């Protein structure tokens, strides 16, 4: 694999993590907005519950996707460090 391809892969991983964090933060803000509108009686409880449930699913999905991307990046980084250091017996 060339250096350019490796840089592009790490760039895509970084963009994925950044996008996941943005979606998590935006979903949390939207959930707070739903809660505020429900408290102020601008939104009935049935609609508030439905919106909060959908936002919770989006939040969990974003957390799972972000953790998978970050976990893969950490795994690849540590695997390459261990392989290059010779601890695993590969870099003699």
Residue 90 lies in a domain: no
Sites in the chain below the pLDDT cut of 50: 91
Is 40 a member of any domain?
yes
Neighbours of 41 (CB within 10 A): 8
The answer to whether residue 57 sits within a structural domain is yes
Distance separating alpha carbons of residues 63 and 49, to the nearest angstrom: 21
Q: Residue 51 is part of which domain span?
A: 3-82
Does 31 map to a domain?
Answer: yes
Is residue 32 one of the residues assigned to a domain? Answer: yes
63: part of which helix (H) or strand (E)?
A: helix 45-85
Number of domains in the chain: 1
- 88 located within any domain: no
Residue 15 lies in a domain: yes
Predicted confidence at residue 90, as pLDDT, reads: 54
Q: Note the pLDDT tens digit of each residue in 29-49.
A: 999 999 999 999 998 999 999
Give the residue from 2, 5, 9 showing the smallest Cα distance to 76.
9
> Looking at the domain assignment, is residue 13 inside a domain?
yes
pLDDT of residue 88: 65
Positive or negative, the Cα torsion across 21, 22, 23, 27?
Answer: positive
């Amino acid at each position: 694999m060339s250096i350019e391809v490796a840089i592009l892969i790490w760039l895509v991983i970084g963009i994925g993590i950044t996008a996941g964090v943005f979606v998590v933060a935006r979903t949390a803000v939207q959930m707070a907005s739903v809660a505020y509108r429900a408290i102020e009686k601008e939104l009935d409880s049935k609609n508030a519950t439905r919106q909060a449930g959908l936002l919770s699913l989006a939040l969990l999905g974003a957390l799972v996707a972000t953790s998978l991307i970050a976990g893969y990046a950490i795994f690849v980084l540590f695997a390459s460090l261990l392989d290059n250091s010779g601890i695993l017996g590969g870099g003699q």
